A and B are shown apart, each in its own frame.
Chain A
Amino acid sequence: MKQFYGLIGLLNVAVGVMFYTVNITPTPAHASPGPVVIARRTPASIPATQGIPTRVQVPSLNIDLPVGVGTYNPGDASWTVDATRAYYADASMPINNSNGTTLIYGHAQSTVFETLPQIQADAEAIVTTDTGFAFHYRLSSSKEVPPSDVSVFTSTGAPTLVLQTCIGAFSELRALYSFHLVSIDTL
């Protein structure tokens, strides 16, 4: 009988030592990877409506011009431009309803954007795209900047249209007219 109680006592001691050992085992500094994290799938986004401008209209100034694609020549820092149409600067964002600024420029000539400086507040501009949409804009603001101000190409934020022509006694400045997007029509 004494041997039985002695055995029971030894077993109790052994179990106690085992639990003590388990409890004082330090946690590794770098735990192994846990279970797989179940992430929620982000719902699909709505594709932006966009396109390359093919036509620009400013009804209040009787401006209705075809729009070509103007490219930048790094060699002489020049842009495609002539007196027959307006040009979309391909270094700017395409026309879209998501973000960024689209630059359309034209000569300060009677056949293009000469009357642009006469634009009135809240004037409407309509840009037709090669994808079959008509983007309607309203004039938000205007400013005159030196030719070296190229921030229009890096601006982010709400979709914006900028119409540009030259201004100043010697055309030494660039007049930028910013429009905000109002609506989009499907042609």
Chain B
Amino acid sequence: MTLALVFGVSAPSASALDCTISNTGPDSDNTCQSIEDFRCTVDNDNNVTVYNKDGQVAETGDAIGVDNTNAGSATSGDANNSNSTVVEGTIKNNTCVIAAPTTVTPPSTPVTPVTPSETVTPSAATPSGGAGAITPVAAPKTAAPVALPNTSGSSTFGIVASIVSLLGLVALGARFAVATYANIKA
């Protein structure tokens, strides 16, 4: 009996990320960050059972001499079986496939390329902020305020408070007037 088993299993592929920064100037702050977080969980449960039962039976016949003086040299023939089994199978397991790397463009930082041998005369004003710094916004040239805006408006609470205060003042004034009049009359 011949038994042959052939199985194939493929392997996952991998790729790499990279990025290139070019044409940058001195003091430039260029960052190229490539983060590859690849997780792949493959659960391949292969359960292959090959059961080959050979039920052949080979028997030789009896050597019997009938109506003969003797059986002489009679013999039974040979008994043999021939069996051949070929089992071929293919198991294709799931694999992890890594997508093609995506080109990540670094944040745009306008940088003026500088020729190494270029001579620049230092100016009186010292640049500040460094590479990629946002140009400071100049303060408006207006008269310097001495007070914040008056946003009292005529809010409901303010109106009520004003009326209550006014009524209170009127009541106090009336009471004072009555008292004064009583004193004078007395």
Contacts and interface: CB of A to CB of B under 8 A. Distances in A.
Contact of A41 (B118, B137, B140): B118
Contact of B150 (A37, A47, A78): A78
Contacts of A93: 137, 139-140
Contacts of A83: 153-154
B110 A46 contact: yes
Contacts of A106: 151
Interface in A133-187: 145, 147-150, 152-153, 164-166, 169-171, 174
Q: Which of B121, B129, B131, B139 has its CB near the most chain A CB atoms (within 10 A)?
A: B139
A171 B145 contact: no
Interface residues of B, number: 45
Given A41-B26, A43-B27, A91 B144 contact: yes
B152 interface: yes
Q: Which of B120, B129, B153 has its CB near the most chain A CB atoms (within 10 A)?
A: B153
B168 interface: no
Interface in B115-155: 118-122, 127, 129-137, 139-140, 142-155
A50 interface: yes
A63 interface: no
A161 to B, nearest CB: 14
B75 interface: no
A105 B154 contact: no
Nearest to A165: B151
Contacts of A164: 148-149, 151
A15 to B, nearest CB: 40
A166 B137 contact: no
Given A43-B26, A43-B27, A91-B144, A48 B150 contact: no
B95 interface: no
Q: Which of A42, A81, A89, A97 has its CB near the most chain B CB atoms (within 10 A)?
A: A42
Contact of B26 (A36, A40, A99): A40
Contacts of A47: 134-135
Nearest to A145: B148
A92 interface: yes
Contact of A91 (B27, B135, B140, B152): B140
Given A36-B119, A46-B133, A98-B135, A74 B151 contact: no
Given A100-B137, A107-B155, A148-B148, 12 more contacts: A39-B120, A43-B110, A46-B133, A48-B134, A77-B145, A83-B154, A94-B137, A98-B134, A107-B151, A109-B153, A148-B147, A153-B144
* 9 nearest A-B pairs in the assembled complex, by CB-CB distance: A171-B152, A107-B153, A79-B149, A42-B127, A166-B152, A109-B153, A108-B155, A166-B151, A105-B149
